[in-house]
Chains A and B, each alone.
Chain A
Amino acid sequence: MRNSGAVLILIFIVKLISQAAGVSAPGKPKLTSCRSPEKETFTCWWEPGEDGGLPTTYALYYHLENSETVYECPDYKTAGNNSCFFNKNDTSLWVNYNITVVATNALGKNISEPVEVDVAYIVQPNTPENVTAVVVDEDQGPFVRVSWEKPRTADTRSGWITLLYQLRVKQQKDKEWEEYNAGMQKYYNVFSLHPDTEFMVQVRCKPDHGFWSEWTQTTYIKMPDYIPRQRSLWIIITIFSVFIVLILTWTLNVKRNSVKLCLLPPVPGPKIKGFDKQLLKSGKTEEVFNSLVIQGFPPTIDYDDLLVEYLEVYDNEEQELVLDGKDLSEDCIKSKSPSDCDSGRGSCDSRTLLLEKCMVGRKGSGSDQHQYSQHGETSWASTESSECQGLEPGSPESSDGRVKTWPVVFSSPQPHHHYQAETVKPVYHSVPEILNHSSPHIMPTNYHHLHHQDIPQQEGRHGKPACRHSQSYNHFNLDGLNTPAPGVSPSRSLEYVEVQRVNPENMLLLRPLSDPNREPEGSDYAGEDYSKVKEVTSNNILLLRRDTSHHCVDDYSQASQCTTQQPPHPCKPVIYQSNSGMPQEGMRVMGNGYVDSTVLMPSY
């Protein structure tokens, strides 16, 4: 009792001391693998654990299945460190070995986990031997024949072990190997290798149930430079193509007619409706071509109808430009159709307009009017007044007090004659005046009179129709604005007018072009309303072109060209009339190509 107690205490003290000294029992070893190279012997390897700081010995113990007899490893040396080699006598197949490794040192021992091993299933042969590769030259081209021998230890002769072989080939630069299975044979022919390159070859083997061996050392083989003569391939290709050619020829022969039709199509005969071949042959060309004439071509369009929006101009010889007395009103009345408010014949539809003008005119300074009168335009004012008076009672439309534009119409006599001939004429005319004293947009305060002097001449010569004012006679003062017209001089002076806009009632709102007070925004308007001179025809007719929208402007006599254009590009009829005395001045072109003519701006 005392002894055992003393022993225990001693052990305890030793342990404490050893722990203080840093030594301990060994760590647990571990069996890593067991392998048999030929199914007759086998070897097991283990991995030692920590040795605990003290010299440790390892021992392997095993026992067979269903037997309790424990044996120790017969051979620790042959297979190297930490291994156990079982020789033939100690190896039994189809029997389970239960193997453990024990590590022992001064302080204790440690036992590994047991491992069950059946030798029949742990076979891993050695590598094949004597791998040789030779280049064999054949008709089809050279190939490589790789041959080898079985590993020395494996006994395949007695059939105890059956080995399957595998080889792999690659070029030096390739990443991937190309593998071939050779089965049980000990040679292999590798075809289709690249010429003039060096190849690497390796071989390995495996038993029918077991593990693959390691790859052999690399064997190098160099393929010679050769040109692949694939004769057989060419022969096949030739035969095939000949065959195809024969077939094609035969097919073409059979389908002779349709091929001819395809390659040389017949020239089609004439297929004109109404065309009589016989008649042509007989030589009566007149009759032949008569039948081709299509009635109604080219289509004649009534251009006049397209210009309905324009104001009508009446070229009435008897009518004076200057509104004398009451003629104007009468003429105006005459010329207008009472119910036609939208026809653009607003110039004559202008009782109210006249009225307005009268009103406005009266408001203006008297000086201008005097000026007019100086030019012999006294009738203007008087006309106006008369007009106004005449109109006043019967102008319901003036009630709103809005200023309406007074379209002044004039045009060259000839075209007007022409148009006079037809009753309903779309008309365009320039609207020189701008008067819209109620409109905020209207800035200009100028008066403008154009061609004061010329008017009477013109009148004398051309006999302006009624309802026409000379272009220069827009002389209305804006409400409250009494600035003198710049450039207005007793002598001939020209003012340029731009049509500012057309209000919904088909009235043109004009504005003098050279207005220095014009606001910048007016330039926008200017841009819309000005038209560039396109050309001047022989009749002293200006062809204007709308600047911004690239409208084509054509003179009236050539209306056909323009009117056939698309609606977005309407023609703006030229209104300018000029005679020999006028043209140069009348066509005073401004710097930017604008003409001082009055241009009708239809409001689209």
Chain B
Amino acid sequence: FGLSLPAVAVLLVALLCLDPHGRVGSAPICAHGPSGCHIPSLADLFDRVIQHSARMHSLSNDLHSEFEQYFLPSKNHIGKIYRKCHTSNILTPNGKDNAQKLAREELTEVILKLLMAWRDPLFQLHQSMAHQQDFNSFSSNKALEMGDMAHELRKGVEKVAEKMRVLGMLGNSVTGLSAAEAMLPLSDSGEAMSDYELLYCFRRDSNKVQNYLKILKCRIVPEHDC
């Protein structure tokens, strides 16, 4: 035969790679079911998501007040210059009763729409803050983190919705999940919004998201903290 040991090893490896059944696939960690590992319950998922949204909102709050403090000293000046937020055409409940009147699916959809609408503007915000000399690196890092958090939050809420659907809590009328499109932050006049306006709008929208998630949670899993 005359084949040396290394050659044999190489051959074996090649066979393995070529073998379709030898493909390495990822097995889920909790393959053995609930007893094998701890699968987070819906309540836990909700808790995580709500914590995430709280963190996101506090970041946006910090950035906004920083902006207000250093760049726009006059309060009246603030009131006059802001324009309509680009998310204002998303219909959001503006009171408790209105929010409670909404179905879970609609509420979830609103949340996801909001989060989706902010994906690109947050990225833009970070870009413009990083390029400007006025902001220190701390602030632009916060903006970056904020954008990441919004992204993760969206993913998390999607997971929650998925879970709810699996559990049968959500009907099939949730169409917004797939239809949520990214929106460009354009104001009426077509101009891009300034950094301050973006921060102002995002602070409000993150508050909305947090509130809606809490309502959703207490409606769906009201055992604790409600």
> Which residues of A approach B to under 8 Å, CB–CB?
39-40, 66, 88, 91-96, 98, 113-114, 116, 118, 120, 155-160, 162, 184, 208-209
Check if B95 is an interface residue, CB within 8 A of chain A: yes
Binds A, one of B1-9, B120-128, B136-144, B215-223: B215-223
Check if B79 is an interface residue, CB within 8 A of chain A: yes
> Which residues of B approach A to under 8 Å, CB–CB?
54, 57, 61, 75-76, 78-79, 84, 92, 94-97, 99-100, 204, 207-208, 211, 214-219, 222, 225-226
Given contacts A40-B95, A209-B207, 20 further A-B contacts (CB under 8 A): A39-B96, A40-B96, A91-B95, A92-B94, A94-B92, A94-B204, A94-B207, A98-B79, A114-B76, A114-B79, A116-B75, A116-B79, A118-B204, A156-B226, A157-B218, A158-B215, A159-B217, A160-B96, A160-B99, A160-B211
A-B contact pairs, 7 of them (CB 8 A): A91-B95, A93-B94, A96-B79, A120-B204, A158-B226, A159-B226, A162-B225
Shortest A328–chain B CB gap in Å is 115
Q: Which chain A residue has the least Cβ–Cβ distance from B54?
A: A208
A159 and B215 CA atoms in complex are apart in Å by 5
Q: Label chain B's interface by main secondary structure.
A: helix
A155 and B222 CA atoms in complex are apart in Å by 13
A155 and B218 CA atoms in complex are apart in Å by 11
Shortest B182–chain A CB gap in Å is 22
A-B pairs with beta carbons under 8 A, tally:
58
A96 surroundings in chain B (CB, below 8 A): 79
Name which of B57, B75, B96, B214 has the most chain A CB atoms within 10 A of its CB. Answer: B96
Q: Which of B78, B99, B225 contacts A184 (CB 8 A)?
A: B225
Q: Are A88 and B218 in contact (CB under 8 A)?
A: no
Q: Are A94 and B94 in contact (CB under 8 A)?
A: yes
A159 and B76 CA atoms in complex are apart in Å by 34
Q: Label chain A's interface by main secondary structure.
A: loop
A156 and B225 CA atoms in complex are apart in Å by 8
Shortest B200–chain A CB gap in Å is 10
Q: Are A66 and B214 in contact (CB under 8 A)?
A: no
A159 and B216 CA atoms in complex are apart in Å by 8
The 3 closest A-B pairs by CB, nearest first: A159-B218, A159-B214, A92-B94
- Residues A157 and B226 in contact in the complex (CB < 8 Å), given A66-B84, A92-B95: yes
A96 and B208 CA atoms in complex are apart in Å by 14
A158 and B204 CA atoms in complex are apart in Å by 21
A467 and B78 CA atoms in complex are apart in Å by 126
A311 and B57 CA atoms in complex are apart in Å by 113
Q: Which chain B residue has the least Cβ–Cβ distance from A93?
A: B94
A40 and B95 CA atoms in complex are apart in Å by 7
Shortest A396–chain B CB gap in Å is 105
Shortest A68–chain B CB gap in Å is 14
Q: Are B214 and A160 in contact (CB under 8 A)?
A: yes
A342 and B25 CA atoms in complex are apart in Å by 123
A92 surroundings in chain B (CB, below 8 A): 94-95
A98 and B76 CA atoms in complex are apart in Å by 11
Q: Are B57 and A209 in contact (CB under 8 A)?
A: yes
A288 and B94 CA atoms in complex are apart in Å by 119
B219 surroundings in chain A (CB, below 8 A): 158-159
Q: Which chain A residue has the least Cβ–Cβ distance from B208?
A: A94
Q: Are B207 and A88 in contact (CB under 8 A)?
A: no
A222 and B184 CA atoms in complex are apart in Å by 64
Q: Which chain A residue has the least Cβ–Cβ distance from B214?
A: A159
Q: Which chain B residue has the least Cβ–Cβ distance from A113?
A: B76
A184 and B211 CA atoms in complex are apart in Å by 16
Name which of A91, A184, A209 has the most chain B CB atoms within 10 A of its CB. Answer: A209
B92 surroundings in chain A (CB, below 8 A): 94
A333 and B204 CA atoms in complex are apart in Å by 131
Q: Which chain A residue has the least Cβ–Cβ distance from B211?
A: A160
B94 surroundings in chain A (CB, below 8 A): 92-95
A208 and B204 CA atoms in complex are apart in Å by 15
A249 and B123 CA atoms in complex are apart in Å by 71
Shortest B82–chain A CB gap in Å is 8
Shortest A87–chain B CB gap in Å is 11
Q: Are B215 and A93 in contact (CB under 8 A)?
A: no
Name which of B92, B99, B214 has the most chain A CB atoms within 10 A of its CB. Answer: B214
A359 and B217 CA atoms in complex are apart in Å by 139
Shortest B215–chain A CB gap in Å is 5
A94 surroundings in chain B (CB, below 8 A): 92, 94, 204, 207-208
A157 and B207 CA atoms in complex are apart in Å by 19
- Residues A88 and B226 in contact in the complex (CB < 8 Å), given A94-B204, A160-B211: no
Q: Are A88 and B54 in contact (CB under 8 A)?
A: no
A134 and B180 CA atoms in complex are apart in Å by 55
B217 surroundings in chain A (CB, below 8 A): 159
A39 and B210 CA atoms in complex are apart in Å by 14
Q: Which chain B residue has the least Cβ–Cβ distance from A66?
A: B84
A66 and B216 CA atoms in complex are apart in Å by 30
Shortest A70–chain B CB gap in Å is 16
B78 surroundings in chain A (CB, below 8 A): 116
A40 surroundings in chain B (CB, below 8 A): 95-96
A160 and B211 CA atoms in complex are apart in Å by 7
Q: Which of A95, A98, A114, A158 contacts B96 (CB 8 A)?
A: A158
A501 and B42 CA atoms in complex are apart in Å by 120
Shortest B57–chain A CB gap in Å is 7
A450 and B73 CA atoms in complex are apart in Å by 116
A184 surroundings in chain B (CB, below 8 A): 225
Q: Are B97 and A88 in contact (CB under 8 A)?
A: yes
B225 surroundings in chain A (CB, below 8 A): 162, 184
Q: Which of A93, A118, A158, A162 contacts B95 (CB 8 A)?
A: A93
A94 and B87 CA atoms in complex are apart in Å by 12
Shortest B68–chain A CB gap in Å is 12
B99 surroundings in chain A (CB, below 8 A): 160
Q: Are A160 and B226 in contact (CB under 8 A)?
A: no
